[in-house]
Chain A
Amino acid sequence: AQTVTQSQPEMSVQEAETVTLSCTYDTSENNYYLFWYKQPPSRQMILVIRQEAYKQQNATENRFSVNFQKAAKSFSLKISDSQLGDTAMYFCAFTFRTGANNLFFGTGTRLTVIP
């Protein structure tokens, strides 16, 4: 079975600083996608960043970047220049590349940005 592990239930970061959220996953498959989703207090689930497993280059979206280590099955999220609006629950998620497969979610990391 596929599992996604987020070992940091809560983290905090000073505004304008950088923070890294950890995620590891377990699968025997080779073709898959990894995602980070943000869930602010409004409870909406918002896609932050997406990584295709066959691409070695780490994905980047503005202040958000990932460190994808396929051999280690690690997929961490780095948030640079943290802003108050980054305060949210962050979920790491995994899915297979083909088919109607669902998303496997981690348990989430609650990030608080301190002014």
Chain B
Amino acid sequence: EPEVTQTPSHQVTQMGQEVILRCVPISNHLYFYWYRQILGQKVEFLVSFYNNEISEKSEIFDDQFSVERPDGSNFTLKIRSTKLEDSAMYFCASRDRGLRYGYTFGSGTRLTVV
């Protein structure tokens, strides 16, 4: 069964450092997303990406965040200068046009900012 792959599974970084979270979506999917989940809390939408550009972003997705699909397979989320409150689980998701299989999520990257 096709899956969304995220790396790394866990990243620890110092406050103020840049981090890049990587995702390989399912190859024939067209829409890509990043979500985050602060421990034990609601899953929050960050950004959606389609046709090589951002479709929608939430108010969480400020100038410190950026996304890229540099080579047609990887989909990355960059946080330029991490804050303590960026500590969370970050999920990448992708889906096809018809939503037949829903949104497929990766297994997440646990980001810890110290």
Contact = CB atoms under 8 A, between A and B. Distances in A.
Contact of A43 (B31, B48, B89): B89
Interface stretch (A11-19, A70-78, A80-88, A103-111): A103-111
Interface string A63-100: 00000000000000000000000000001000101011
A104 B48 CA distance: 12
B99 A33 contact: yes
A45 B33 CA distance: 14
B45 interface: yes
B47 to A, nearest CB: 8
Interface stretch (B19-27, B70-78, B104-112): B104-112
Contact of A108 (B33, B42, B45): B42
A9 to B, nearest CB: 11
Contacts of A37: 105
Given A42-B107, A102-B56, A103-B93, 17 more contacts: A35-B102, A43-B110, A45-B91, A45-B105, A47-B104, A50-B101, A91-B43, A99-B55, A100-B31, A100-B48, A102-B35, A102-B45, A103-B43, A103-B45, A104-B45, A105-B44, A108-B42
Contact of B42 (A45, A101, A102, A107): A107
Nearest to B3: A44
Interface residues of B, number: 26
Nearest to B44: A105
Contact of B108 (A35, A43, A102): A43
A103 B45 CA distance: 7
Contacts of B41: 107
**Most chain A beta carbons < 10 A, residue from B33, B45, B56, B105:** B105
A99 B30 CA distance: 11
Contact of A50 (B42, B55, B102, B107): B102
A33 B89 CA distance: 25
Which 3 A-B residue pairs are closest in the complex by CB-CB distance? A45-B105, A100-B55, A100-B50
A103 B91 CA distance: 12
A47 B5 CA distance: 16
